Amino acid sequence: MNSVRLAIDVESGDFGPRVIVSGILEARLSNDHSFKVFICGNRPRIERVIDENNAADQLGDYEIIECNDIINPGERRAGVWKKQKSASIIRCITLQKERLVDASISAGDTAILMGAALFILGRSEGALRPALAAFLPTVKKKPVLLLDVGANLNCRAEHLVSFAIMGDRYISRFLDMPSPAITLLSIGKEAAKGTRTISDAEKILKERFRNYRGFIEGNDVLAGESDIVVCDGFCGNVLLKACESFHRLAESVLGDQMTKDAGFRKKMAILDPENYGGVPLLGIKGTVLKAHGRSSSRAIANSINAAIIAVKRHAVWESEATERQPIP
């Protein structure tokens, strides 16, 4: 494959172009793969950040894509992708639709990103709803894929089954893991302890997947016994954010021991959510990653690395091959 082409929304997140450009620089230093970056945002601001950091040469192969529209915080999310086509978050997705980039990364509003991806790129065949999928660390030192983690708060049984299908395809390719173990998040191992939706999904999953392993409780998610944990976006988001707080708790409890002991700090890195970067939006015709709004430069760099792996391994659904077009 030729150099991977990435569209990055630098106007997104809590820290904007300064941190995101720094993340691109970190990705250059930590990645052996060739990639080109299309930096989407306000050109004067981007150029100022690059000049202040003397980063033009270090950024490697890059191009600035001027984006003039601004999406205000109070603006209605529905249809914004139609009205604000020059907003950086929308422009990234449009470049992908035009086959000018292979993947998009944004730390912006989840609803806007999902809406733009869904209506501009389209839904994957067989996907009932797009879902956000996040990797979590486990005690067996292998990640577990949790989905959905926030795109769908209310789900029917068939939606949960669709998440399992998407998760199975993604992790099989992203981690080269044939027949990953699939589980369904519930409050007990017995069917009677779950909701009607969970019970109905369990029956379908049993019939559809030979690698389905039954229910899993929250305290077993990080045990490493499962490769994919399926749940609705409400439960998944709560669980994800609870896990993200572990690293801060460890820093608070351990104090100086964690900061002074390099070996110990290295071991604790598995709990740091910034090491996992952005999460892919599955169920659409393209590779789109959602980075955390509070992402540091390291988290952005890891999002870039994840996007490159996903593209190279065809982890996300792709439409029919078309000739790659150059930016005019």
291-308 pLDDT, tens per residue?
988 888 888 999 999 999
Arithmetic mean of pLDDT, 72-101:
82
How many other C-beta atoms can be found within 10 angstroms of the C-beta atom of residue 189? 12
pLDDT band at 133 (very low <50, low <70, confident <90, very high): very high
* pTM recorded for the entire structure: 0.86
**pLDDT averaged over every residue in the chain:** 85
DSSP letter at 14 equals: T
> Residue 4: its pLDDT value, please?
93
> Residue 324: its pLDDT value, please?
38
Sequence spans of domains, the chain: 1-122+284-328, 126-277
Torsion of CA 82, 85, 90, 95, to 10 degrees: 120
198-235 pLDDT, tens per residue?
999 999 999 999 999 999 999 999 898 899 999 999 99
> Residue 325: its pLDDT value, please?
41
Q: Which of 19-23, 253-257, 313-317 has the lowest mean pLDDT?
A: 253-257
pLDDT band at 261 (very low <50, low <70, confident <90, very high): low
With tokens 């029919």, the residue in question is 320
> Residue 321: its pLDDT value, please?
35
320 pLDDT higher than 90: no
Under 8 Å between Cβ of 286 and 310 = no
> Residue 60: its pLDDT value, please?
85
Does domain 126-277 correspond to CATH entry 3.30.300.30? no
**CATH (one of 3.40.640.10, 1.10.3720.10, 3.40.718.10, 3.60.70.12) for 1-122+284-328:** 3.40.718.10
156 pLDDT higher than 70: yes
> Residue 207: its pLDDT value, please?
92
> Residue 255: its pLDDT value, please?
67
Same topology between domain 1-122+284-328 and domain 126-277: yes
> Residue 44: its pLDDT value, please?
92
- List the one residue out of 172, 184, 177, 171 whose CA is nearest residue 212: 184
pLDDT band at 267 (very low <50, low <70, confident <90, very high): low
